[in-house]
Chain A
Amino acid sequence: MGIVNHKKTDLHGMTVHTIETKKYKTTSFILQIKEAINEKNVTKRALLAYVLQSGTKDFPSSKDLRSALDDLYGATLNADLSKKGENQVISIRMEVANEKFLSNSEPVLDKAFHLLSQVLLAPAVENGVFKEGIVKKEKRSLKQQIESIYDDKMRYANKRLLEEMYESEPYRLNVYGNEDEVDGITSKDLYDYYQEVVRNDKVDLYVIGDISTDEMLEKVKKHFHFSKDHHEKEEQASTAKDEKRISDIKEIFEEQDVQQGKLHMGYRTYTTYGDPDYFALQVFNGIFGGFSHSKLFMNVREKESLAYYAASRFESHKGAVFVMSGIETGNYEKAVKIIKEQHEEIKNGNITDAEFDQTKAMINNQVLETIDHPIGLSEVLYHNVVAGTNRSIEDWMEGINSVTKEDVVKVAEKVKLDTIFFLKGAATNGNENV
């Protein structure tokens, strides 16, 4: 047994991952449902996630379902979407108090298990399709959610960067779909699509807490009944290689009435989770902009006082590094120049021992901290499903430890700037009146 006691069992058309631990006061269930992101289904899939969490056969309205959850000592249920590489993943998460901590220990676990299975497999249906009322409400809510991206300028700039950088690749798609497609989706379209999802998608269930694996597998057998013809689609998009070569750096400017300019830069790395130089790229990103000792923070913020934040983030499955910083509009040229220089510094091997060792220590620290949280733990383990690998936490940490400076330099040379998106400030924002 390693740092994490993780067992995997294929059962009833899904992979059940059990993690036995006494760390938590709750038991967590996480369903991950994966499909390659595509233009045809992206909006439907986003809508589906919200419709599923709004009612079941037994609790056919959001109010009924929420009351049932409250009665289970405030069990939480939420559905959410994320993009992992070129996959659009629906996550349905439920967390329920461990009976042992309740003064009148009620048997909440079995009920919770049943409820979760119903959310996925027995939704609220009327006349053979999803209940009209639920679909209507969730369509309105989804549209508002897509619109609100515009209101958060950091998210907006990030979305625009992806649209420009991946113009002709599925990765450009927003995980919540396209606003103008929402209205056109009928309850029938959505239900047809739902049936495809339960028939074809790869489903992983994580159960984390003070549990016994055997008992959980029994519960899966009892509660989860997929249709007989459940089979996963053969080809998944996750391992698609980034083939695009960059000729010119694309520079896109947009102007809005904001106080602070948002600078977002996208790099292609040609390395993803399953590749041998993946760990070197993690270390590269850490030296570049992953931490508060990184080159971006030290130079853009501490040395030049240009920004409050200047950081980079690595998307493991698409193999991209994204830089973001909030700066004064007039400082655009200066900030871009400094950021490019930091990349050059790493290419030239200008990495101090301190920087290098700190980065590795911080990455491993981050992983260990992440797995202290049940959701964090499930996300770390799910990387293996997305990438088709089988790495333990120990392998991961060992991988980081064995990276050399030469490895980092080599991978830095592969990293290429593709697109810069800059949201410029115009006038003043926020005029008050009564």
Chain B
Amino acid sequence: MGMKTFDQLDETLHFEELQNGLKVYVLEKKGFNKTYATFTTHYGSVDNHFKPLGKNEDVKVPDGIAHFLEHKLFEKEHGDVFQDFSKQGASANAFTTFNRTAYLFSTTGDVKKNLTTLIDFVQEPYFTEKTVEKEKGIIGQEIRMYDDNPDWRVYFGLIENMYHHHPVKIDIAGTEKSIAKITKDDLYECYETFYHPSNMILFIVGPVNAEDILNFVKENQSQKSFKEKAPIERFFDEEPATVAKEKKIIEMTVQTPKCYMGYKEAAPNRKGKELMRHELCVNLLLEMMFGKSSPNYETLYEEGLIDQTFSFDYTEENGFGFSMLGGDTQSPDEFVERISGMVESFKDQPIAEESFERARKKKIGAFLRSLNSPEFIANQFTRYAFNEMDLFDVIPVFESLKVSDVEEVLQNHFKKEALTVCQVRKKKS
């Protein structure tokens, strides 16, 4: 068992990599009622072209299959696993992102019992033609729900604009048409390839005894046999640095138009500390340029171009990366013109030490606040670990950054030719 203490944060993380390759992390949180556990595979919607475990030929699978698999893993011969958790006083859930599929529960009751249920249901798939067909109606309604959601449409539309080939542009849930093609054999093939313990992380946070929990998990795993771990071969087409489309307008039944704009990262292939530094730099820049205490925010708000819905973010992972800014606005074109103009003039000025410090303080405070949340810790730790980063490095890395670091990122990331825009506008009747 390994142990890492973060004195400044008053946290101790326990971890171990088991023989089958599964990485287990336990963070003790005294005083909390709830224990939260996530069991996550490094497999998401972008992993649609790969070489199945033990085969020589690569395959391309239908859009939306990772998400479909997530739904179907809950169904067993004896019924629905949701019910098992519920009987044990736990609430379970799952979600699929571009790069991850996570299964989770939270409970204030019996942790070990629920942990067994979590591990076992994820490691014992049961797919039949009948249950696969039944799910198509439910997921079809989920897809329609998102289709009617303008925030989702504008966000996703922007990503579609950015990419020529990268599968991040494919909707995570797929389409009603693409999921219609999914069979139980497809599900098993994806499952065998991506749900090997060596491709997964188990994270437990709560008022538990770490050693006891680690031993318990080890015992559970030692009773199961898995194939030898093998590296997973994923295939991605070459993605140009340019955006696929500069602008898209989606018409919907809305009253207030929405506008998102984004800068596509030209070389999104960083890992580890380098990725963390880069992410934190872009986020600091966004904060300095458009945070609530910035002159730009004040101007935009005063001009009525933004409201409380305005937000921004940067994300990068495995071959895709972008910053995005957006929200509700009455004048979507002016919104783009003003904001891109502000970015350009920000690039022309030296960065003020004071504004850099203020942004950094704000970000450190926000990070501490997130550590109140077991959900944040488990989910973000896992995301960071899949990208070879350590969540608990965030504060020291923030503290190590200098103005010159962000200067460089500013010039390289926010390039005019990397800009794309997506708008949702009121449908003309």
A residues apposed to B, CB below 8 Å: 3, 21-26, 61-63, 66-67, 69-76, 95-98, 100-103, 133, 137, 140-141, 144-145, 147-148, 150-153, 256-260, 291-293, 301-302, 305-309, 326-328, 354, 357-358, 361-362, 364-366, 368-369, 371-374, 429-434
Contacts and interface: CB of A to CB of B under 8 A. Distances in A.
Contact of A326 (B34, B145, B371): B145
A306 B138 CA distance: 7
Contacts, number: 221
Contacts of B248: 432, 434
Contact of A144 (B83, B87, B256): B256
A66 B157 CA distance: 32
B90 to A, nearest CB: 7
Contacts of B250: 430-432
Given A25-B368, A291-B91, A358 B86 contact: yes
Main secondary structure on chain A at its contact with chain B? mixed
B86 A97 contact: no
A62 B300 CA distance: 12
Contacts of A257: 252-253, 427
B347 interface: no
B307 A70 contact: no
Nearest to A326: B145
A95 B368 CA distance: 11
SS of B interface (majority): mixed
B292 interface: yes
A145 B426 CA distance: 16
B253 A372 contact: no
B29 to A, nearest CB: 8
Contact of B373 (A22, A61, A69, A373): A373
A260 B145 contact: yes
Interface string B97-119: 00000000011110000000000
Interface residues of B, number: 83
Contacts of A102: 364
12 contacts: A23-B29, A63-B298, A67-B293, A73-B365, A74-B361, A101-B368, A141-B308, A151-B150, A151-B256, A293-B87, A430-B147, A430-B250
Contact of B147 (A69, A327, A429): A429
B362 interface: yes
B363 interface: yes
B359 interface: yes
Given A103-B8, A260-B144, A328-B141, 4 more contacts: A23-B30, A66-B291, A291-B91, A373-B372
Nearest to A100: B10
> Which of A75, A429, A433 has the most chain B CB within a 10 Å cutoff?
A429
Given A23-B31, A308-B141, A74 B87 contact: no
